[in-house]
């Protein structure tokens, strides 16, 4: 008798009419075959899906150019289809599930004609982890099939798991005709289903990532008492060899990957990488918060990545151990056949074509690499990958960092008074938008816990859920807010960032261990000047003052904006958060 999975695949094939159906086993040999198809047969506009790069500099690497309208997440085309609008909340686009399905069914009719339907069984999380989830994605493009192998644990073993339980998350994906008018990324949380059509780009198409591991998983977390968060997970080893695990949320393109594999500027410190984008957080039997990274690879921002900013990522990209590594929408040095992007070490090469394949030189005034150009690479290639990466139980979290990109107002770091105050602080965080999604860049918006585009239900309920989790933790992590992006009057960053961020982590760890005091301000505790390690770094005194300045007079607009944001959630907004808000407003 056909299994639920087989029936589903058959049904989707009847609708989409692919030439072939291919069940992936996740093997190296298979990946090579699929890449071969993208090198020769499939085309996007006038370009093959894959272009082989110089194997000397970046072994096993390929360049992929996406459709020029398809270069980032499409938040305006992303829907969460709960049965009622209130459950989706003002933070999500919503359509009644039946209407959404009708629309998608029409768009999907015959959409795989002439193409292959790849069936990808995969795990989010280590197969032996009690927190892992089994999934199956269908896709009609080699780029997505191969990227899923890098980003997740693809393998036939998953089918065995599924057979026993019939419990898995379904992802249907087709690039359709790439047209924006026929592009939708729709989520059906009550059916464990994601249906995405019209885009081949990362977060719209690699459905294990934001679609499942955040939007659907956050909803599962609400029902099952855990949290799915847009957070990195790191182990910070101090000179005595003690490792402290930290989770940190920052919006897209705001520094997570860089922080996750930092090369610390302070001697004796080491950062171990557990995850760079997503954390699933569970309450352990010991009353602590335990984190796993459900992913198996990095889908990182290329622009700005160099031996100076993120040497461990450059090393990861050059390792060539796991097949393949993919660059998406970077420029190409036509002399050397190497990928190139703004911020990479060395001179600007003289013979470049831009991310669309057009001849390029700096005088054009455009960017050669798309600002959201990315690489897809296995986490196993990372020289700082934590020995705990595959630990089924995850790692115990001692601190949560919540960040944003703020050119002014927000100090480098401050500590919340307690969990409830931390939820209020995180809930009110704002960040300036980046090129990771299709919208105007540099616009300030509220982005609570960096989850605004990823929370799969009403954020009022989400804040309540955070409060409840806090109550159930015997040892809740301390909550800190961070901002690497404050600038001076001329737009220069006040803080050098990257490897120097270890100084902030050191302060945080000392606070966790009650080793040092701090200055109390209305927004939380900020470092006493003497407690931030500044040995070996030269920061003008006035910059330091500015970095930690909490001028409460300047918070007027911010408070109004936070209030307006919270008010959208009406009765679903927890009283406790309003209480914190009121306290804060009165202090002001």
- Contacts with ligand SPV in 406-465 (CB under 6 A)? 436
- Would you count residue 228 as binding ligand GTP (CB under 6 A)? no
d(C-alpha 577, C-alpha 427), whole Å: 9
Q: Note if 254 is an active site residue.
A: yes
Residue 258 binding target from Mn ion, ligand SPV, ligand GTP, none, CB below 5 to 8 Å by type: ligand GTP
- Both tokens of residue 367? 């960017």
Which is closer to ligand SPV, CB of 210 or CB of 464?
210
Should residue 277 be labelled a site residue for ligand SPV when binding is judged by CB under 6 A? yes
Query: How is residue 362 annotated by DSSP?
Result: G
210's contact among ligand SPV, ligand GTP, Mn ion, none, with CB below 5 to 8 A by partner kind, is: ligand SPV
Of 195-214, binders to ligand SPV (CB under 6 A) are 202-203, 209-210
Q: Tell me whether residue 280 or residue 419 sits nearer to ligand SPV (CB atom).
A: 280
Residues 60-119 close enough to bind ligand SPV by CB under 6 A:
73
Residue 498 in marked binding region: yes
Please tell me the count of residues contacting ligand GTP according to CB under 6 A: 21
Label residue 23 exposed, middle or buried (CB < 10 Å: 0-12, 13-18, 19+). middle
Whole-angstrom Cα distance, residue 465 to residue 458?
A: 11
Cβ atoms of 354 and 366 closer than 8 Å: yes
The answer to the question of whether 203 is labelled as a binding residue is yes
The secondary structure of 545-557 as a DSSP string is HHHT---GGGGHH
Question: Among 195, 269, 298, 299, which residue interacts with ligand SPV (rule: CB under 6 A)?
Answer: 299
Tell whether residue 100 is among the known ligand binding residues: no
Query: Among residues 108, 137, 252, 416, which is the contact residue for ligand SPV, using CB under 6 A?
Result: 252
Minimum separation from the CB atom of position 67 to ligand SPV (A): 15
Q: Minimum CB separation from ligand SPV for residue 201, in Å?
A: 6
Given 111, 254, 382, 455, which residue is catalytic?
254
The footprint of ligand GTP on residues 417-456 (CB under 6 A) is 436
Cα four-point dihedral sign 424, 554, 508, 401: positive
Interface positions with Mn ion (CB under 5 A) = 256-257, 300
From the list ligand SPV, Mn ion, ligand GTP, none, which binds 484 (C-beta under 5 to 8 Å, kind-based)?
Answer: ligand GTP
What Cα–Cα distance (Å) separates residue 82 from each residue in 151, 192, 279? 27, 11, 23
Task: Check: CB of residue 413 under 8 Å from CB of residue 521.
Answer: no
| Number of neighbouring beta carbons within 10 Å of residue 535 | 8
Instruction: Give yes or no for residue 330 binding ligand GTP (CB under 6 A).
Output: no
d(CA 487, CA 546): 9
Residue entry with tokens 């990488």:
273
Q: Which helix (H) or strand (E) holds 446?
A: strand 444-446
CA distance 367 to 373: 11
Among all residues, whose Cβ is closest to ligand SPV? 203
Integer CA distances (angstroms), 320 to 59, 209, 315, 499, in order: 5, 23, 10, 25
Site string for ligand GTP, 271-290 (x = CB under 6 A): ------x-------------
Return the residue of 220, 253, 281, 410 that touches ligand GTP, per CB under 6 A. Answer: 253
Contact of residue 99 among ligand SPV, ligand GTP, Mn ion, none (CB under 5-8 Å per partner type): none
* Residue 33, marked binder: no
Q: Which of residues 488-527 bind ligand SPV (CB under 6 A)?
A: none
Tokens for 32, please give them: 């090579």
CA-to-CA separations, 530 to 145, 290, 434, in angstroms, rounded:
52, 33, 34
Residues 6+ apart with CB under 8 A from 344: 305, 306
Is 253 labeled as ligand-binding? yes
* Residues in contact with 351: Cβ distance below 8 Å, sequence separation at least 6, in sequence order: 333, 334, 335
436: burial class by Cβ within 10 Å (0-12, 13-18, 19+)? Answer: buried
Q: Which of 304, 339, 404, 527 binds ligand GTP (CB under 6 A)?
A: 304
How many alpha carbons lie under 13 Å from residue 285 in its C-beta half-sphere?
2
**Residue numbers belonging to the annotated binding site for substrate:** 73, 201-203, 252, 372-374
Catalytic residues: 254
**Residue numbers belonging to the annotated binding site for Mn(2+):** 210, 230, 277
Interaction site with ligand GTP (CB under 6 A) = 250, 252-258, 277, 300-301, 303-304, 309, 436, 484-485, 493, 497-498, 501
Interaction site with ligand SPV (CB under 6 A) = 73, 202-203, 209-210, 252, 277, 299, 436
């Amino acid at each position: 008798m056909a299994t639920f999975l087989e029936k589903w695949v058959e049904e989707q094939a009847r609708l989409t009419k692919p030439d072939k159906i291919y069940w992936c086993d996740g093997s190296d040999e298979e990946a090579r075959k699929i890449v071969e198809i993208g090198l020769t047969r499939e085309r996007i506009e006038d370009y093959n899906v894959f272009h082989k790069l110089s194997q000397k500099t970046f072994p096993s690497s390929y360049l992929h150019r996406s459709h020029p309208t398809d270069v980032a997440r499409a938040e305006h085309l992303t829907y969460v289809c709960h049965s009622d609008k209130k459950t989706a909340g003002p933070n999500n686009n919503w359509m009644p599930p039946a209407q959404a399905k009708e629309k998608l069914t029409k768009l999907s009719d015959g959409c795989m004609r002439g193409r292959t339907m790849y069936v990808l069984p995969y795990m989010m999380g280590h197969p032996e982890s009690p927190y892992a989830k089994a999934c199956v994605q269908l896709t009609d493009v080699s780029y997505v099939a191969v990227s899923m192998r890098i980003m997740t644990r693809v393998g036939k073993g998953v089918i065995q798991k599924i057979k026993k339980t019939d419990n898995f998350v379904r992802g249907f994906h087709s690039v359709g005709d790439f047209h924006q008018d026929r592009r939708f990324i729709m989520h059906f949380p009550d059916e464990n289903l994601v249906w995405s059509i019209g885009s081949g780009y990362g977060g719209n198409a690699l459905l294990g990532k934001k679609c499942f591991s955040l939007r659907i998983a956050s909803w599962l977390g609400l029902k099952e008492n855990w949290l799915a968060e847009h957070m990195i997970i790191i182990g910070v080893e101090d000179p005595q060899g003690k490792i402290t695990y930290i989770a940190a949320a920052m919006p897209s393109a705001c520094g997570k990957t860089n922080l996750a594999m930092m090369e610390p500027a302070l001697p004796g410190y080491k950062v171990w990488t557990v995850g760079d984008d997503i954390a699933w957080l569970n309450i352990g039997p010991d009353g602590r918060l335990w984190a796993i990274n459900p992913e198996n690879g990095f889908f990182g921002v290329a622009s700005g990545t160099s031996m100076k900013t993120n040497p461990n990522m450059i090393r990861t990209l050059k390792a060539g151990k796991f097949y393949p590594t993919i660059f998406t929408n970077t420029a190409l040095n036509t002399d050397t056949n190497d990928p190139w992007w703004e911020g990479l070490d060395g001179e600007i090469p003289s013979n470049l074509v831009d991310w669309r394949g057009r001849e390029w030189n700096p005088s054009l005034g455009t960017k050669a690499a798309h600002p959201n150009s990315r690489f897809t690479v296995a986490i196993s290639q990372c020289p700082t990958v934590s020995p705990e990466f595959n630990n089924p139980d995850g790692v115990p979290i001692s601190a949560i960092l919540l960040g944003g990109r703020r050119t002014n107002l927000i100090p480098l770091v401050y500590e919340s008074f307690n969990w409830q105050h931390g939820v209020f602080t995180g809930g009110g965080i704002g960040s300036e938008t980046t090129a990771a999604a299709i919208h105007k860049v540099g616009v300030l918006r509220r982005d609570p816990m960096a989850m605004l585009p990823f929370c799969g239900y009403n954020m009022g309920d989400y804040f309540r859920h955070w409060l409840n989790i806090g109550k159930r933790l015997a040892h809740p992590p301390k909550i800190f807010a961070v901002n690497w992006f404050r600038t001076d009057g001329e737009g220069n960053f006040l803080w050098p960032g990257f490897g120097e961020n270890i100084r902030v982590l050191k302060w945080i760890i000392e606070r966790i261990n009650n080793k040092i005091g701090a200055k109390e301000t209305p927004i939380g505790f900020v470092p006493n000047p003497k407690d931030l390690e500044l040995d070996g770094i030269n920061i003008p005194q006035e910059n330091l003052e500015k970095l930690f300045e909490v001028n409460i007079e300047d918070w007027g607009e911010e408070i109004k904006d936070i209030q307006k944001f919270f008010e959208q959630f009406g009765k679903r907004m927890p009283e406790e958060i309003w209480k914190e808000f009121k306290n804060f407003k009165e202090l002001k």
